[in-house]
Amino acid sequence: MPPNLSSRHHAALTERERHILECLGAALVKEWTDLPTAVQRALFQRATASDHDDPAQLKVLIARFLHDHKHAPTAS
C-alpha cells in the first residue's frame, strides 16, 4: 500500500477497515501530546501529503482538530 490513502483508495475501504482506521486515529489523537515532536511532525506530514483536493486546507483542518482535541481524555 502506498504511504498515503488516496481518496480513491479511501472510498474502496470496507466498513471494517474504516472502523479500524477510526480506532487507530482516535488512539493516535489521545496520545498526540505525548509523542515526540519529530514523530508528530512526521505523522502530520504523512497525513497531509495525500492527494486531497486542497492540501493547504487539509493541513489547517488537521492542525485545528489536533489543537481542539489536545486535552482529550486518555482513559477508555
- pTM across the whole model: 0.69
CA trace torsion 18, 19, 22, 26 (10° rounding): -170
Residue pLDDT tens, the chain, 76 long: 444 555 555 568 899 999 999 999 999 999 999 999 999 999 999 988 876 788 889 999 999 999 998 876 655 4
Domain definitions of the chain by residue range: 7-68
Residue 1: its pLDDT value, please? 40
Look at residue 26 and give its three-state secondary structure.
helix
Residue 2: its pLDDT value, please? 45
- Residue pointed to by grid coordinates 502530520: 44
